[in-house]
Amino acid sequence: MKIDILSLFPEFVEAFFNQSMIKRALEAGLMEMAVTNPRDFTKSRHRQADDTIYGGGAGMLMMCQPLFDACHHVLPEKGKRDRVIFLSPAGETFTQDKAKELYRDYDHLVLICGHYEGVDHRVEEHLADELISIGDYVLTGGELGAMVISDAVARMVPGVLGDAGSAATDSFYEPILEYPQYTKPYDYNGWKVPDVLLSGHHANIARWRRKEALRRTLHHRPDLFGKLILSGEDKKLMAEIREEEKEE
């Protein structure tokens, strides 16, 4: 997997490349990530990458030419397993399912970060394959969104997490929250770790974890719970949960 990020603020993105999980993955050659500054492709001697808005309006808009040229530099010949993504509030909301799709269907992602008042619409119309939003709120630029997508996709690359099972047990890998987890001390202010986790009985521990994951999802994210396909065992666990909560 290769990820290229187009950003006017490469130092911001480079700091992300140097954090623990991503840094180890890059050093081990498990994946490639790079940041490219569209200013390096501007035709202005002042390296101008933005300009005033046609028709009037406050602020400045990123020009399309530097972004097109920067994208063509990192992706000279586009194939079926290459994907150009523009970070935009108009895009599809990013989810774990989308992260899995990007990892499964593509080998090279190019993430375009907007800034200032936005980007010339021709980038959205003629350069990007799709638009993605990380949520319904306003940020200064697309860099944070690009890092969110990169991190979520990187976690699925074999070897990046070190533990092959870690990604599959994360919250949202399926539409269920992760089960509660504990570490030392066993007793803190009278709040004790559930005894089953100290039992050494792996089947009982696995059953408890699934049950508590179902319980957490039901209470904290009923929207996710509604999407979950319950197995026969899950239905038994849910019956136990309802009976327990009826007695409280």
Report the distance separating Cα 82 and Cα 74, nearest Å: 11
Reduce the secondary structure of 86-110 to three states and give it as a string: EEEEEEEECCHHHHHHHHHHCCEEE
Ramachandran angles phi, psi of 192, nearest 5°: -100, 150
Q: What share of the chain is helix, strand, coil (3-state, %, to 5)?
A: 45, 15, 40
Sequence-separated (6 or more) residues with CB below 8 Å from residue 45: none
Q: Which listed residue (69, 82, 117, 130) is catalytic? A: 117
> Would you call 41 helix, strand, or coil by DSSP?
helix
Tokens of 147: 């890092």
Q: Is the dihedral of CA 155, 156, 160, 166 positive or negative?
A: positive
Helical H segments across the chain, by residue range? 10-17, 20-27, 64-74, 96-105, 121-126, 143-154, 166-169, 202-220, 222-225, 232-247
Q: Which of 132, 179, 172, 137 is nearest to 156 (CA)?
A: 172
Q: Which listed residue (14, 24, 69, 89) is catalytic? A: 89
Ramachandran angles phi, psi of 73, nearest 5°: -70, -45
Based on the residue annotation, tell me whether 117 is a catalytic residue of this protein: yes
Report the distance separating Cα 63 and Cα 243, nearest Å: 61
Based on the residue annotation, tell me whether 89 is a catalytic residue of this protein: yes
Active site residues: 89, 117, 155, 170
